[in-house]
Structure 1
Amino acid sequence: TTASYPFDKANADIILRTSDHVDFHVYSQILMAASPFFESMFEVPQPPVDQQQLKYGRPIIDISETSKALDPLLRICYPINKTKERSLEEIELALSAALKFEMELPITMLTEELDALAPYCPLEIWGVGCRLDLESVAYCAAQNMSLAPPDFTVLGDMSGITAADYFRLREYHRLQRKVPRGFKFLNPHATSLRHSLLPSLRPLSEMEGCVLAENPAPDLICRSEDGIEFRTHTTVLSLASPSLRQKVVAAVKPLPKGGSHEESALPVVQFDEAAIVLHAMLRLIYPSPSDVSLPKDVGDLTAVLVSIDKYSLDSEQPAVWSFWQAIASTDALRAYCHAIRAGHILSAKEAARCMLNQVLDGVYVEELESTPALAYHRLLLYYEKCR
């Protein structure tokens, strides 16, 4: 469909097509004046006309934003009467796009609109600040909150807000705004901390080329996600669980007549697990696991627990679970964060129970930066109700 006036003019020279398939017929000169992002884009030599996607002879530029985000953004940039009232959702969508396209005027205007709304819905504005990583917006919203603990239920599923964001706002209220100089509601380094669940790295030399058993000769290579190879045996893996048997069968191809594995490269089974996790899992399923040394880091150990469940290694589960409980009991908040991020509900519940014997107020761990706020909210509710 075509957007409404003034984005339907026949003399516009380009078309911005949104993710919901609305075409905005716009003037490239206005976009270039408003946005360094578009200015750089249009300075790049364009492909020949016959290689471009055209409509009415105008090139089409596909963008990931919806029409609900693009319409208010373009209206701010265009020399037309400005809309005086926008919903909070429209402001957030437009501001997110403005930040992406580096549009100075829309960023200023939309941020001012958020600040003006802060006295009326401060917690919702704080949530916008968290999602868009705007410290000034989060600060203004917090300043407009009462000293009573916020009612976080108004944020619904708390999408885009981290547990660390939640923690810092709670601390601001718990300390009655008497926070240290330089206190930030948003962590400027949080982007680098919001990583996926990656086990810590043990020196690779300890595991590279590891042989789980010498006799009989290994006939299979298990390769970890980070490229470390373990020489193993098809029989041991096949007997460990049906899911491992399927991986082995898929990797092992029939040998030519008279051939042997020694005469050709060993088949490789590729795993999604990191080396430290795969190494622990393989040690567990070999016949004599008396020398098994499980990882002592709760993040690594949680990943091992997940892999045990993933491959249905039921006989190994009790030993890993018992060790995990012992570690989690001394570092419950970190254990909870890792369990949530791994989607392992049983261990998350156990960590929450362990947390009851520890202090939760004012306790920060780095893993909060990559844990959803809703999970932290549920932990706090459980903690308070049990107390």
Structure 2
Amino acid sequence: MSDAEEIITAEAPFDDQNCDIIIKSTNGVNFHVYKLVLSLMSPVFKDKFKITSPQSEAHSDKSIITVAQSSTPLRSLLLLCYPAATPTFDSLDDAKAVLKAAKQYDMQAALSRAGDLIMAQFLPDHILDLYALSCQFRWQNHAQTAATRALEIKDLGRPSNGFHGLQDITGADYHELLVYHYRCGVVAQEVGDSLSWLPPSSTKMQMWKCKCRLVGDA
């Protein structure tokens, strides 16, 4: 590194000078972290630490590992490794970048936690995309949640420019969603017919929830 190159340190909690490893993003931001934390979260990083030796740079005698992520997804990924931290995502695309990185580093606990946070943050505005993500990462409970919310989409199955996650799932996953949507519609019609003798005011008081399940959850 040249003397003129600026050293950029990430914001807290990744500015701790007592750390024992530095993770450097593609845009030159240094994240000061602890090997133990990342080793517990990622077997990939654990293996990296075994073969990494300190770099002789003017500002640090710590090991520096440069990764393939920019600072934004890297920060969210590292926050997922800290139990007391709860990251938020600027967009669903940013969240997907974090999931991709977590998968790359085999961070299973981080993937599971990210799924919970993403579902909480982006429902109900991205129902189908969240269904696709849930299928992609095999989050059965989240897939069921997204499929249930998809019942609100009356024209599901028709051509649409609003579903950008279709390329991330199999045709079988999407077909399962359509079957679930159809089955719930049949059940709803049967419930409606069985209550047809009630006065309108009584019918409105009925609380109905489809109890159908995705085939994969059966």
- TM-score in same-fold range (> 0.5): yes
Matched residue count? 175
The aligned residue for residue 108 of structure 1 is 112
Q: Measure how far apart 1:80 and its partner are.
A: 4.0
1:82 maps onto 2:86 in alignment: yes
2:162 to 151, 154, 161: 154
Point out the structure with max Rg over C-alpha: 1
Mapped partners of 2:154, 2:105: distance in 1:
38
Structure 2 residue matching 1:16: 3-state secondary structure: strand
Q: 1:197-208 residue pairs with structure 2 within 5 A?
A: none
CA contact (8 A) 2:128 2:165 kept: no
CA contact (8 A) 1:18 1:67 kept: yes
Q: Measure how far apart 1:145 and its partner are.
A: 0.2
Mapped partners of 1:96, 1:81: distance in 2:
20
2:148 to 126, 131, 143: 143
Q: 1:58 to 1:160 in 2, by over 3 A?
A: farther
Identity in percent: 25
Unaligned runs of 5+ in 1: 185-387
The aligned residue for residue 60 of structure 1 is 64
CA contact (8 A) 2:73 2:94 kept: yes
1:18 to 6, 10, 25: 25
Q: 1:91 to 1:145 in 2, by over 3 A?
A: same
CA contact (8 A) 1:124 1:154 kept: no
1:6 maps onto 2:13 in alignment: yes
The aligned residue for residue 249 of structure 1 is none
Q: 1:182 to 1:144 in 2, by over 3 A?
A: closer
Mapped partners of 2:86, 2:179: distance in 1:
41
Instruction: Say what the alpha-carbon RMSD is for the aligned residues.
Output: 3.4
Deviations 1:268-289 (A, max 9, x none): xxxxxxxxxxxxxxxxxxxxxx
Deviations 1:289-347 (A, max 9, x none): xxxxxxxxxxxxxxxxxxxxxxxxxxxxxxxxxxxxxxxxxxxxxxxxxxxxxxxxxxx
Q: Aligned AA for 2:70?
A: T
Unaligned runs of 5+ in 2: 1-7, 185-212
Q: Aligned AA for 2:82?
A: Y
Deviations 1:87-136 (A, max 9, x none): 43343222322222233432222111233344442112134346x54353
Mapped partners of 2:102, 2:16: distance in 1:
23
Q: Measure how far apart 1:71 and its partner are.
A: 0.8
Q: 1:10 to 1:144 in 2, by over 3 A?
A: same
Q: Aligned AA for 1:169?
A: Y
Mapped partners of 1:139, 1:64: distance in 2:
33
Structure 2 residue matching 1:145: 3-state secondary structure: helix
CA contact (8 A) 1:123 1:152 kept: no
CA contact (8 A) 1:72 1:90 kept: no
